[in-house]
Amino acid sequence: MKRFDYKAKDKETGKMLKGNIQADNEQTAGRLLIEQGLIPQSVVEEGENDPFVKVKNRITTKDRIVFTRQLATLIGAGLPLSASLRTVADQTESKGMRAVAEEIITAVESGKSLFEAFSAHPKIFNGVYLALIQAGEKSGTLDIALKRLADQEEKDAAMMSKIKGALVYPAIILVVIIAVLAFMMILVVPQVQGLYEDMGEELPGLTQALVDITDFFGQFGWLVAIIVIGIGVGAWFFVKRTPMGREVADSFKLHVPLFGGLFRKLYVSRFARTSEMMLATGVPMVESITTAIESTNNVVVEKEFTKSLEDLKGGKNLSESLTGLEYMLPLVPQMAGIGEQSGKIDEMLGKAAQVYENELDEQINNISTMIEPILMVIMAGLIGVVVGGTLLPIYSLVNSVSA
């Protein structure tokens, strides 16, 4: 049973009332209020509007993977669907996932298919997930479809973790560089300036430049901070909330130096792996490729790959349809062609995906190894400039005094 906060109007007095009520879901809560002579105005699960509760109950990729794999194991062992769902719901440690599982159980026990029950939660289960669930139900291979989903999500999560790790290290080094430079500029440079002023000497050119920079940020630092924050918020809104911003960001990923090739391999491997899963589960070709295109999660790539659907619908083979696409890497159509000849197109697409996944692993490791010395050289150069602008003047003063 869940608790729901409600606002309702009393039928007799017309007075607005607030309170909470226990029920299995919102609909049941609404019916209970009506039976009590109230007219529901809003019924919200307790804590749903609390941001701290939302964060606590957030469903992670790991939660979904564990849920999917456990469900696949239980169904494969011959346990009835409803009992499998109930067991997984009882075992999960995630409150958010448990709540979703209970809603799925209620829907299944009321006569809905598993696909319909999962479809009620599109923010948690994407198009690939739902398509494989539907195909697994129709073909009687639901446990296999769920296992493939769990395997693929684990691979995706591991790959994204490696990519983020490759990006996090440079960010940490950058923060360290900024912190060291700020310390030198704020605390050391002004002291050097004071020494020269006390002795009536003129600052060297490099030191004067550092002093000017320090003075500028001292006077206008607040303005710079506002501008930087404003640009950051504006960029975030543009990318996250506008179609053009999403397209610009996705195009940048494909063309950014050093990481552009990495992202291309990531999207192509996703496409090939999803195509393999869909076709192996018995989903028709056009539907499989449509879902695989959506799984890339890049609007620029999706637009380009969608051109292949017109050729497929026109009667061309998959290998022909994929050939010549701008962001399609050559191994995929080649392996698709071999699969068409051997009758194992899903298996060949899986092998193509594995090749690019292996290359991604190696490329990420190489980038991480290469970035470290480059950043160290940059950090040493910047700090060397600041140190040179502070220590050299001090040595000059000592020499002039000694002379």
Q: Give the 3-state secondary structure of 77-141.
A: CCCCHHHHHHHHHHHCCCHHHHHHHHHHHHHHHCCCCHHHHHHCCCCCCCHHHHHHHHHHHHHCC
Predicted TM-score (pTM) of the model is: 0.69
Maximum mean pLDDT: which of 19-28, 236-245, 392-401: 236-245
Q: 46: pLDDT confidence band, cut at 50, 70 and 90? A: low
Q: How far is CA 294 from CA 49, 83, 135, 243, 305, in A?
A: 31, 33, 17, 16, 9
Query: Residue 2's pLDDT is what?
Result: 67
Percent of residues, the chain, with pLDDT higher than 70? 93
Determine contact, residues 343/142, Cβ cutoff 8 Å: no
CATH number for 60-153: choose from 1.10.1740.10, 3.10.580.10, 1.20.81.30, 1.10.10.60. Answer: 1.20.81.30
Q: 201: pLDDT confidence band, cut at 50, 70 and 90? A: low
pLDDT digit string, tens, across residues 251-300: 998 998 878 888 899 899 989 988 888 888 888 899 889 988 988 889 99
pLDDT digit string, tens, across residues 254-266: 998 878 888 899 8
Query: Residue 385's pLDDT is what?
Result: 78
Distance CA 215, CA 161 (A): 41
DSSP, residue by residue, 196-219: HHHHTPPPPHHHHHHHHHHHHHHH
Q: How far is CA 93 from CA 51, 64, 74, in A?
A: 20, 11, 17
pLDDT digit string, tens, across residues 309-350: 988 988 899 999 999 898 999 999 999 999 999 889 999 999
Determine contact, residues 312/336, Cβ cutoff 8 Å: no
Q: Which neighbouring-strand residues pair with 3?
A: 22
The set of residues, in sequence order, having a beta carbon less than 8 Å from that of 381 and lying 6+ positions away, is none
Where do the structural domains in the chain lie, given as residue ranges? 2-55, 60-153, 154-403
Query: Residue 56's pLDDT is what?
Result: 45
Distance CA 262, CA 320 (A): 25
Structure tokens at 248: 């610009």
CATH class of 154-403: mainly alpha
The set of residues, in sequence order, having a beta carbon less than 8 Å from that of 196 and lying 6+ positions away, is 202, 203, 207, 393, 397
> Is the per-residue pLDDT at 5 higher than 50?
yes
Determine contact, residues 193/168, Cβ cutoff 8 Å: no
